Amino acid sequence: MPQAPLIARTLPSLHRALDRLRARNATVALVPTMGALHEGHISLVRLAKRRAKRVAVSIFVNPTQFAPHEDLGSYPRTWKADIAKLTAEGTDLVWHPDAGLMYPPDFASRIAVEGPATVNLEDRFRPHFFGGVATVVAKLFTQVRPDVAIFGEKDFQQLKVVTRMARDLDLGVKVVGAAIVRERDGLAMSSRNVYLSAEERATAPVLYRALKDTAKRLRDGDSLAAALAAGAGSITHAGFALDYLEARHAETLAPIASVKDGPARLLVAAKIGTTRLIDNVKV
Ligand code: AMP
């Protein structure tokens, strides 16, 4: 039977646990999550195990990255199942602070991110988001002081923002990206997929299919405008409200005029019913 992870809910207990884990200079990888763990998160834990001797997973539903109209209150919380999954993976430590510890009433600081955080993708539709993510990730990094941190390519812009921030602020953490884990029908796994009705769930894989078709058109020599118009057409035809479908430079996320200006990445965000889904593929 694998051993259950140490669970820390206060900074002194976190630091005691880390002192134990770091014995004989063992390296530590951190996997930041908001819980409601699925196979995508578990793939991050497995990559973390390959990159460091010890694995810490944080579970914290970060209020500062949700806008008032977003789903903070209803975000799925599945603590027991999460711990069972992390135990099965041999996770060493779970860091589970509460909102009062992370943001006491007199909390007054926020990390401002630019570069990949201001490229008119997620930031256009969720203006609060990256400031909240950067602030909580900076706190998690300084609390845990990991050698490595694993983030999913599922949130591609977030991965770029966090990578840039870790470098810019000399946080001493190597940020590593992990490939997207998908359901059998191609839908990118997400904690928010539980919001989908049966009908919406049946439609949802259209998003990945459209990304793949658009990438193929581009590789076959279609112009960006033609390929993106066809992709957007199939997404809206399936009943999604499209926020964006764009081809961007895979490193900087800057707009590109042609895939020859790449490496290129296709990124999409669209709403089906009240659920907003994001996905991306390389071209
Ligand atoms: P979340 O709990 O949704 O904030 O996600 C925590 C981490 O898991 C982030 O780095 C996400 O990018 C990553 N993640 C979420 N879904 C997937 C997925 N389907 N495949 C790979 N990584 C994922």
- Dihedral sign of CA atoms 277, 96, 77, 128 in order: negative
State whether 126 and 51 are in the same domain. Answer: yes
Domain that holds residue 103: 6-178
Q: Is residue 39 part of a domain?
A: yes
One domain, residues 36 and 169: yes
Mean per-residue pLDDT for 8-17?
98
Residues 147 and 219 in one domain: no
- Boundary of a domain, candidates 178, 200, 224: 178
Quick one: 258 and 200 in the same domain? Answer: yes
Question: Which residue is it, tokens 């140490």?
Answer: 6
Share of the chain above pLDDT 90, in %: 98
Assigned domain for 30 exists: yes
| 194 close to 35: Cβ distance less than 8 angstroms | no
- pLDDT confidence band for 262 (50 / 70 / 90): confident
CATH code for the domain of 257: 3.30.1300.10
Give yes or no: residues 47 and 105 share one domain. Answer: yes
Q: What is the pLDDT of residues 31-48, one digit of tens each?
A: 999 999 999 999 999 999
Q: Indicate whether 269 and 134 sit together in one domain.
A: no
Phi-psi region of 159 (alpha: psi -120 to 50; beta: other; left: phi over 0): alpha
Are 46 and 148 contained in the same domain?
A: yes
Mean pLDDT of the chain: 97
* Residue nearest (by alpha carbon) to ligand 1 atom 13: 152
- Identify whether 1 is part of a domain: no
Domain C-terminal end among 144, 178, 212: 178
Which are the contacts of 23, defined by CB distance < 8 A and separation ≥ 6?
none
140 closest CA partner among 91, 106, 104, 173: 173
> Domain containing 89 — which CATH number?
3.40.50.620
CA 162 to chain CA centroid, Å, is 10
Same domain (yes/no): 209, 138:
no
Report the pocket of ligand 1 as residue ranges, CB < 6 Å: 33-34, 40-41, 43-44, 151-152, 154-155, 178, 180-181, 188-191
Q: Is residue 184 part of a domain?
A: no
For residue 239, is it within any domain? yes
Mean pLDDT of 147-168: 98
Closest CA to 173 of 141, 202, 196: 141
Distance between Cα 106 and ligand 1 center (Å):
30
Residue 15 lies in a domain: yes
In angstroms, rounded to a whole number, what is the distance separating the alpha carbons of residues 78 and 76? 6
Judge whether 208 lies within some domain. Answer: yes
Q: Are 138 and 196 in a shared domain?
A: no
Atom of ligand 1 nearest to the CA of 190: 16
- 147 and 48 in a single domain? The answer is yes
15 carries an active-site annotation: no
Q: What percent of the chain has pLDDT over 70?
A: 100
Query: From CA 98, how far away is CA 174, in angstroms rounded?
Result: 26
Residue 201 C-alpha from the chain's centroid: 21
Same domain, 169 and 207: no
Whether pLDDT at 270 is above 80:
yes
Which amino acid is it at 250? A
Identity at 240, one-letter amino acid code: F
Atom of ligand 1 nearest to the CA of 189: 19
How many structural domains is the chain composed of?
2
- How many Å lie between the centroid of ligand 1 and the Cα of residue 257? 30
pLDDT digits (tens, 9 = 90+) for 171-229: 999 999 999 999 999 999 999 999 999 999 999 999 999 999 999 999 999 999 999 99
Exposed/middle/buried for 273, CB within 10 Å: 0-12, 13-18, 19+? middle
Atom 6 of ligand 1, residue of closest alpha carbon: 33
Q: Can you give the pLDDT at residue 283?
A: 96
More confident: 1 or 96? 96
End-of-domain residue from the set 125, 149, 178: 178
Residue 222 Cα, ligand 1 centroid: separation in angstroms?
32
Say whether both 161 and 228 belong to one domain: no
pLDDT tens profile 217-251: 999 999 999 999 999 999 999 999 999 999 999 99
Q: Which of 15, 41, 96, 249 is catalytic?
A: 41
